Structure 1
């Protein structure tokens, strides 16, 4: 049998998916044991006990200075910024993307601007955001919006333009006006695609969030990582990185399941 025709079963696929993670853990464990055997105080590759102790200290013990559970506080702050930024970006993408896709006059007016904004490196304008919006929450949220909204706008507009032309002809033949074309034809078919666009934007959104928190913040996952790096506290940094990865995976899977639950017709096509 040709390899291209060999499809693993559910159990086999799960095991194959876990294999790279297990190999990474094995390699790290062996390297950590070797370094700690030479130097028990080595900070570069902390062992499992060191990282477990750090997580317990950061997540389950009150900070002596502030009285807060630092990991919980950082997670709450980062998720609030991420949710607000991605939410605003998704709303803008939905409105502007549909208008660009459906209305030729709007597309002629806004499409060049959206294309230009999507090419601007968001981190390059971070100092401008701090100058304009200050060092508070608004600048961090705006960085996420500016970094993700234009790409999602272009994606939504492209999805609208890919809708079958027969649908547009039929709905207009039945007497629909522009508003009805948008709300009854374009919007229902674009919403599941918007969720896919949000999922694809989560990676860049996390990047912009952590960059903003690292530069100007007093709490947050990115802030904590860059704060402890001066002490070479890899026992804190690595668990934080793993925690961010877990959060990103959980959010992505929640969006995927929401998409499947709300729009089964869309996912039935193999999306």
Structure 2
């Protein structure tokens, strides 16, 4: 049997999925042991037990000055910014994607503009955003919106263009207006793609969020990471990085489940 036709059993699939993570943990433990053996005061690769103790402290002990558990406060602030940015970007992209993909006049007007905007590095606009919107919440949310909206728009507009033209013709034959075609023919077919596109854009959204928080914020996951870096507190940094990774995984899993429940005909997806 050709290798391309071989499929792993369930236990083997689970083992293969876990193997890269296990190898990374083993490599880290070996590197940490070697560095700590050479210098017990080394801070670059803290021992796994140190990271665990730090994580327990960050998740459970309140700050002495504010009385808040800082990790939870940072998580809440970052998730609010992320949800606002991604939500606004999704709404704008859905509207523009339908217009560009469905209406030739809108496609001529906006497709080139969106393509050019998508080439602008969003992080290069960060100083401008701080000047225009200030150092508060708005600039951080706007950076996420600017960063992922062009990608989402181009993806959705292409998906609208990929809808078989026969479906549009049949809807017009039955007397459907442009608005009805958009709502009853186009929208149901691109909503699953919207969720998939958001899943793919989440990595970039997190990047823009962390960058904005690192430059100007007084609370947030990115702010805390860049605050403690000056003390070489790698145990805190690694805890926050692992927590961000976990949050990103949970959000991605939730979106995948939502897509599977709401649009079962689309298949399992990624």
Structure 1 residue 38 displacement after superposition: 2.5
State the match for 1:209 in structure 2.
209
State the match for 2:53 in structure 1.
53
Residue aligned with 1:34, SS: helix
State the match for 1:177 in structure 2.
177
How many Å separate the matches in 2 of 1:141 and 1:107?
Answer: 27
Alignment of 1:89-168 (within 5 A): 89-168=89-168
TM-score (norm 2): 0.98
Moved more, 2-11 or 179-188: 2-11
Structure 1 residue 239 displacement after superposition: 1.1
State the match for 1:22 in structure 2.
22
How many Å separate the matches in 1 of 2:235 and 2:162?
Answer: 49
CA deviation vs aligned residue, 1:201-248 (integer Å, no higher than 9, x gap) = 000000000000000000111111100000110000111111111111
State the match for 1:69 in structure 2.
69
Alignment of 1:194-205 (within 5 A): 194-205=194-205
Aligned length: 270
How many Å separate the matches in 2 of 1:46 and 1:194?
Answer: 41
Moved more, 175-184 or 47-56: 47-56
How many Å separate the matches in 1 of 2:56 and 2:22?
Answer: 24
CA deviation vs aligned residue, 1:7-63 (integer Å, no higher than 9, x gap) = 112221111010011011011111112222222221110012211221122221010
How many Å separate the matches in 2 of 1:59 and 1:135?
Answer: 28
How many Å separate the matches in 1 of 2:97 and 2:49?
Answer: 50
- Name structure 1 gaps, 5 residues minimum: none
- Name structure 2 gaps, 5 residues minimum: none
State the match for 1:225 in structure 2.
225
Residue aligned with 2:46, SS: coil
TM-score (norm 1): 0.97
CA deviation vs aligned residue, 1:85-142 (integer Å, no higher than 9, x gap) = 0000001010110011111111111111111111110000000000000000000000
How many Å separate the matches in 1 of 2:135 and 2:260?
Answer: 39
Q: CA RMSD in A?
A: 1.1
Residue aligned with 1:198, SS: helix
